[in-house]
Amino acid sequence: MACLFLFLIVCSSCLESGFGFAFRSEGSPLMKLKEVQHGEGSFWHITDLHLDSSYQESAKPRNVCLTSLGLPVTDAGPFGSHLCDSPWKLVHSALERMRALFPHPDFLIWTGDSPPHLPVGDLSTAAVLDTMRNFTSAILTAFPNTLVFPALGNHDYWPQDQMPGNVCEVYSKVGQMWKEWLTDEALATFKRGGFYTQLVPWNHTQDSTPLRIVSLNTVLYYKPDHSTAGLVDPGGQLAWLKGVLSAAQRDGEKVYVIAHVPPGVDPWHNTTFYNPATNERYLSILRTFADVIVTQMYGHMHNDCFRVLRDTAGTAVGSVFLAPAITPWKPNNGKIASPLANNPGFRLYKYSHEDYGILDLWQYFLNLTDANLKRFADWHIEYKMAATYNLKDLRPHSLAQLAKRLEEPHGKAFALYFKYFLVSFSPNLPCVDCCQWIHACAVNFLDHTAYQRCLAQHRQTERLPSGCFAR
């Protein structure tokens, strides 16, 4: 009960931050038309904020935060700890820095996961909704004139991971929170299953190509979601998706797909995020409409990585970007914590106004250790992807070239990739042999069969032990 109470109150640091919690009263949704100029545009992407409102700089290591699950926190500072989810001061500093850097992006993408990593008994639907309401208001306050396209994460529900494929309280109430950003049609679809589609409301010329956002509820396919286990198409989302993409193809639109849980393989567990059959069905749809879908953007892993979607002939036809988390939390079970974590990060995409192809991404990060020592959040550029890897742009063909370079044994490209994968948490940590091939194969192949075939090839070529890739 104490844990729940901590979640339901509005912490004093939130009020001090300058981000209030009163929703705007003017008309909604926020649909101001922007003139589309030839050249390039920019948009922000944030994900996995995971607020721990219990966080405090306590002299007692076991009293710092609830999300350490009882593990002693000895590195607590004003902006958090790697054993804890985000304090409000960290979230506030991120939004403030984003606003200072680019206060008027073309739009903002927010791919879910607001509540903390806590046991089911320490949360409730009310606590989840309260956290999401506070984050929604904070984003509205930081970017009052920016259209935001959100997606639900697996922690944006209680019990976590158990999202249903039908009408529920969370879909209905979160939809109301997001009415500033979404059209009536998008809200109606969202309230039925947690997904929606919406055109970016730009002032297009007659012959310009419209850009459509498709926000999916991929938690419905997530293996831990037992509420949808055994269902071929929970919520009818895949059938709906095919209809939306078919109409976009007919109408000459281009599409960005956004969601929380990505398709493909989780390299930490050597298995797909979705159940295998659904993963294949989803990939098949993405391949069928590869001429319409420009790119896909997800969160969930907390790490910084990308994937290349290939057709059945092996040709790159799609790009997949996984953005790193704001939260610095490292997984733990209350007895032992993972040795690896990520520094907090957010990113800015640069894209073409002509065909909406991704030209570059600028990854920003906060060195949490330094920030706590200096008691100042010095968010700055970690890397610019195109220049770092000497790429023309970040379209599928360019990413496929980079993905191939990641397979070079002990290569410079993979060393950089793994450094940024952890958001410079441990810049000199080696990842070679088995570690490298697990990640490189996950980048190159989203279906599990091809991924396993990639591992088998490297096992034979590099003469690695048979148990190298066991999980």
The answer to the question of whether 260 is labelled as a binding residue is: yes
Question: What is the fold, at CATH topology level, of the domain defined by 2-399?
Answer: Purple Acid Phosphatase; chain A, domain 2 (3.60.21)
pLDDT in the model for residue 208:
81
Distance of CA 81 to the CA centre of its chain: 20
Peptide bond into 29 cis (omega under 30): yes
Task: Give the least confident one: 9-23, 322-336, 438-452, 454-468.
Answer: 9-23
- pLDDT tens digit sequence for 194-249: 999 999 997 555 568 999 999 999 999 999 999 999 999 999 999 999 999 999 99
Cis link prior to 344 (omega < 30° from 0)?
A: no
| 48 has binding-site annotation | yes
The Cα-based distances of 16 to 10, 20, 21, 243, 416 in angstroms read 11, 9, 12, 46, 38
326/16: higher pLDDT: 326
Closest CA to 151 of 85, 119, 195: 195
pLDDT tens track for 82-133: 999 999 999 999 999 999 999 999 999 999 999 999 999 999 999 999 999 9
Per-residue pLDDT tens digits for 263-291: 999 998 989 999 999 999 999 999 999 99
Q: Tell me: is residue 300 an annotated ligand-binding position.
A: yes
355 assigned binding-site residue: no
Q: Which DSSP symbol is given to 341? A: -
Q: CA-to-CA distance for 48 and 116, rounded, in angstroms?
A: 9
pTM: 0.92
> Which pLDDT does position 463 carry in this prediction?
63
Token pair, residue 471, equals: 């999980």
Q: Residue 69: which region, alpha, beta or left (left: phi > 0; alpha: psi -120 to 50)?
A: left
**CB-CB contact of 254 with 292 (8 Å):** yes
CB 63 within 8 A of CB 71: no
Distance CA 221, CA 335 (A): 30
302 known member of a binding site:
yes
What are the sequence ranges of the domains in the chain? 2-399
- The CA-atom distances, in angstroms, between 268 and each of 248, 436, 447, 469 are 36, 12, 16, 10
CA-to-CA distance for 73 and 372, rounded, in angstroms? Answer: 13
